Structure formats: structure tokens, C-alpha cells
């Protein structure tokens, strides 16, 4: 009997010691900054209100309504937000993107956790939704949100029958770049049914310099041009892209199928990707 009591005491002591050795579950961060539209809107969809969000061109109309009143942080290359302005928000976690990698190092030096959670393609929106949810303690809700997003994308792609040869051009001032299949915009347009024309160009960045002559030689059925400049210069770049004489002999221009996209949806990932695919199909590809 005594031996049994001694053995029981030893077992209880071991169990208590084992329990003490298991770290307590880490509390979900409360003070979160989302620098990208995708991470900000995903948090909004999960019912999590960040203390700060990045301000990007053309994003106001695509921002979730429950983000109104949240502090907006101006972003600039290559650091992202102003670090003093960011530090005043005392964030525990910042959702960023590789665009702001230089600034991420400074944030980490300040003791802020930084997670890159911005999709680079359509499939990535599903994976990054669950990544964000897990980071803020909303794993189950994020899985449901990701499934809804996946269903919406599938519905937006349903019934594609035509695959026009399409060139997506980024106009940096008067210098044209082509969007490649490994860019956000290139993948979105491809998912909308376009047969992307890139003149065989490849680049890890997803963008490559292209000449007006190469655009004419490619002779696409559709050209989607995206102006990229300071906000004050966008109207001028847009006018240039619409009337570039170097493209006037292309099939796209002759058939009146040169379009200019100015809402940033083909440059910046967001949670409304299904709507963007529908717009590309309806307005640009007619498929």
C-alpha cells in the first residue's frame, strides 16, 4: 500500500513537471499593422481591426468598409512606412511584402515581428489568407474565408471559351514593360482566359523592359496598358498609352482593343480577385 502511494506521488510529480515544461499558448497579437491592401482586407474579413494600414494608390474604393478611421501610413520605396510614424503605433505584428524588405529589417531591429503575406499570384490568395488567420489567432475563420475565396475565383472563371492573345504593358513614364506570367497582373489576366503574349521574355521580377517595336511584332489581339507613375503624372501617362503612335498598326489598336487600366487592380493583390477576373473578362477580353 505504501509502495502504491509512493508510486502515485511520483507519477503526479512527473505529470506536474511535464505540464510546467509546456509553454503557455502565445496570445494573439492585438496591435497589428497591415501595409498591403490584401492583408488589410483579409484582417477585416476575419473581424480583426488593425491599428494602421498602408496607403496605396487607387485603393480607397477597394478597401473594406470596416477599415474606415484606421490610421493610414504613407509608403515609399524602399523602406515602406516612415519608421517613426510606425513606432508610434507600437505594433506587435506588421504584415508586409517583399517590396519593403529593407524596411522590414529596421522593423525587426525595433523588436516588431514582420510577416510577408502578400500573394504574388491568384493561388497565393488562398494560402496567404490562412497564413494571416493563423498569425492572428483566427485559423478556423481564415479557412472558411479561404474556401469562400476559392469558390468565388472558380465561379469567376466559369465558362471561358475564347483565349485572345493578350499583351499586358506597364507604362513607367514612356518606357514600356511587359507583365510576365509570374507577375500578379499577368497571372490574373491568364486566369481570366487570356493567352499571354510576352515575346519569350523571362524575368524573376515578373516584369521586363520591352520595346515598342517588339510590341508591334507581337501583334496581340488585346493590349492592356497600365500607367505607373506619381499620382500627379498618371493622367499624362494614360493619355500617352492611349495614343502611342508606335502601336497604331497593331491588331489590338486597329480593332479598338487597346485598354488602359488605372485602378491598380492588376498591380496590387487584393481580396476582390474574383471581381477583377470578371472585369478583365467582361471589359478587356470579351470572353
Going by the DSSP 8-state scheme, the letter that residue 282 receives in this structure is: I
One fold for both 32-156 and 165-285?
yes
Class (C level, CATH) for 32-156: alpha beta
Q: Do residues 206 and 150 lie in contact, with contact meaning Cβ atoms separated by under 8 Å?
A: no
Question: Given this model, what pLDDT does residue 199 score?
Answer: 63
Torsion angles phi and psi, residue 122, rounded to 5: -65, -45
d(CA 15, CA 227): 64
Superfamily of domain 165-285: Nitrogenase molybdenum iron protein domain (3.40.50.1980)
Question: Given this model, what pLDDT does residue 99 score?
Answer: 87
pLDDT at 169 over 60: yes
Share of the chain above pLDDT 90, in %: 65
d(CA 170, CA 58): 16
Residue bearing the bigger pLDDT, 79 or 272: 272
Question: Given this model, what pLDDT does residue 57 score?
Answer: 67
Q: Cβ contacts of residue 237 below 8 Å, gap of 6+?
A: 171, 173, 174, 227, 228, 229
For residue range 14-41, what is the model confidence (pLDDT) as tens digits? 434 444 444 445 688 989 999 999 999 9
For residue range 35-70, what is the model confidence (pLDDT) as tens digits? 999 999 999 999 999 999 998 766 666 788 889 999
pLDDT at 72 over 60: yes
How is the chain split into domains, by residue range?
32-156, 165-285
What average pLDDT does the segment 182-202 reach? 92
Q: What is the mean pLDDT of the chain?
A: 88
The candidate with the shortest Cα–Cα distance to 267, out of 78, 80, 65, 119, is 119
Torsion angles phi and psi, residue 9, rounded to 5: -65, -40
- In terms of residues, how long is the chain? 287
The candidate with the shortest Cα–Cα distance to 194, out of 281, 100, 94, 89, is 281
What average pLDDT does the segment 180-203 reach? 92
Pinpoint the alpha helices (H) of the chain.
Answer: 2-21, 37-45, 83-88, 101-109, 122-135, 139-156, 184-191, 212-218, 234-242, 251-254, 273-279
Task: State the angle between helix axes of 139-156 and 37-45 in degrees (0 to 180), rounded to the nearest 10.
Answer: 110
CA distances from 276 to 46, 156, 196 (A): 21, 9, 17
Residues forming beta bridges with residue 53, ordered by sequence position: 34, 72
Residue bearing the bigger pLDDT, 116 or 198: 116
Amino acid at each position: 500500500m505504501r509502495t502504491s502511494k509512493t508510486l502515485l506521488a511520483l507519477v503526479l510529480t512527473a505529470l506536474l513537471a511535464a505540464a510546467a515544461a509546456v509553454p503557455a499558448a502565445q496570445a494573439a497579437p492585438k496591435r497589428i499593422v497591415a501595409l498591403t491592401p490584401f492583408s488589410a482586407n483579409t484582417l477585416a474579413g476575419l473581424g480583426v481591426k488593425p491599428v494602421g494600414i498602408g496607403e496605396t494608390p487607387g485603393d480607397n474604393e477597394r478597401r473594406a468598409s470596416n477599415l474606415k478611421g484606421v490610421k493610414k501610413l504613407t509608403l515609399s520605396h524602399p523602406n515602406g512606412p516612415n519608421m517613426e510614424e510606425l513606432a508610434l503605433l507600437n505594433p506587435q505584428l506588421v504584415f508586409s511584402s517583399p517590396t519593403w524588405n529593407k524596411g522590414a529589417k529596421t522593423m525587426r531591429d525595433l523588436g516588431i515581428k514582420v510577416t510577408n503575406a502578400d500573394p504574388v499570384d491568384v493561388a497565393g490568395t488562398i494560402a496567404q489568407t490562412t497564413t494571416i488567420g493563423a498569425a492572428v489567432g483566427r485559423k478556423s475563420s481564415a479557412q472558411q474565408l479561404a474556401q469562400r475565396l476559392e469558390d468565388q475565383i472558380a465561379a469567376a472563371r466559369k465558362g471561358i471559351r475564347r483565349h485572345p492573345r493578350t499583351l499586358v504593358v506597364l507604362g513607367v513614364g514612356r518606357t514600356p514593360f511587359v507583365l510576365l506570367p509570374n507577375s500578379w497582373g499577368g497571372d490574373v489576366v491568364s486566369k481570366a482566359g487570356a493567352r499571354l503574349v510576352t515575346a519569350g521574355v523571362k524575368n524573376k521580377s515578373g516584369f521586363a523592359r520591352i520595346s515598342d517595336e517588339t510590341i508591334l511584332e507581337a501583334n496581340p489581339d488585346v493590349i492592356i496598358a497600365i500607367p505607373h507613375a506619381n499620382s500627379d503624372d498618371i493622367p499624362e501617362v494614360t493619355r500617352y498609352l492611349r495614343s502611342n503612335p508606335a502601336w497604331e498598326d497593331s491588331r489590338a489598336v486597329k480593332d479598338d482593343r487597346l485598354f488602359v487600366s488605372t485602378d491598380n487592380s492588376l498591380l496590387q493583390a487584393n481580396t476582390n480577385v474574383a471581381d477583377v477576373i470578371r472585369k478583365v473578362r467582361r471589359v478587356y477580353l470579351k470572353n
